[in-house]
Structure 1
Amino acid sequence: MAEVLIIEDDDRIRPLLVRGLREAGHTVTSAPTGMGGLQLAVDSSPDLVVLDLGLPDVDGTQVLSMLRAVSQVPVIIASARADDPSLVGALDAGADDYVVKPFTSAQLDARVRAVLRRAASGREGPRTLTVGGLSVDLAGRRVHLDGAEVELTPREFDLLAHLAERPGEVVTKRDLLVEVWRQPWGGSDKTVDVHLSWLRRKLGETAADPRYLTTVRGVGVRLTAPDLPSPQDG
């Protein structure tokens, strides 16, 4: 698995996360302060850092800036509020993902594995993501559906690419606003809904009759390959 560094000042949360990630197979070190965590990151070169924004000595965004000056280690931000402006600032400053408290060790482990997969793929060079007959060329920013190119706006491409990196996973509209639009969650999901509607139209489907994009009511949206017809259907 991976070597993970947790920088978290809460004495109740930190040991639970350490234990949970160790049980998932990771090697875990931790620090209760920003400067202590930064020193550990420099000395031990972990595979990934989980960074709390609300630290007692140095603000988490400052820790991220100092860390980014010396390392490109993947960083997952832990935040108490999804609408915290500093969360968006941290993502813009180079954080790779985020989790909102309260979260479980299993949820954090899933984020860790997803970020590490993306980091490994990035080191391997340009990628093409494939979901059923849908092909998303991340480097060329081109999309093909059943061999035919689909013309998307830059935002539509970013939205589809974000979902294609998480096939089968329900992605919340809050996540999409923060990670695709780089906007704090403010309770309005109209922007996401409109772009999903446009994207569905270009993929030849509707919300009522989905093929790739399935809305999970009250939760978010999931990108999956359409079910193949059974032999008796054909």
Structure 2
Amino acid sequence: MSQLLVIEDDPDTIAVIQALLGHSGHDVVPACDGRTGLRMLHEVRPDALILDIGLPVMDGWQVLERVRDISDLPIMILTGRGQETEKVRGLRAGADDYLVKPFSKAELTARVEALMRRAGVASWAEDVYDDGLVRLEPASRSVHVAGEDVRLTPTEFRLLNTLVRHAGQVLSPAQLLSLVWDDPTGLSPERVKFAVLRLRRRMGFADPAESPIEAMRGVGYRYRPPAEQGRAGVPLSSSRQ
């Protein structure tokens, strides 16, 4: 039996989804606001997520961004916002499907079944990264560099998270635009360059030569863990890396 997390603030919609998908053999776990939904996500580790956009406390866009920081979990947006720009935004931000309310019961069931068929086992990267220099906790979005708390913008956090999860691997500007920015349309490689410069400064590295984020001229950027730089470091704390 697959487990579906539904983050939706309308109790009638939740009741319909529970009855419909429960009848199809799915275990539906409801959450009525974004913050509760994120907490349930960590507790339940569902097979897929059905997400409303107009949520209290934390809206669906914020939830989608947080989920994509830690997992490739299949996500369907279920919302009353049917404008094409909203659909494009949702799909580019990492949703796998977008269904507009009101929806037919048959269509919802078919789309969920298709979502589950396309989905493999979701991978999670929410475990703490700690190499002795950088400690990054996706669940709380906290970052420490050399023991000091560092405050990053959401984009800077995604950039650092992407680089450390691919430690030692060179990522091209095009790859970083795709992985880090919700909507890379119209963004140039220069955007990556300036974002890396800001990230280095926030991490306390005014001199690029001292930064663990290395620019490979004409190729891209890579994160060098302390062990690669000749400094004593510790491995990733996650057993799933």
> Normalising by structure 1, what TM-score?
0.49
> Normalising by structure 2, what TM-score?
0.48
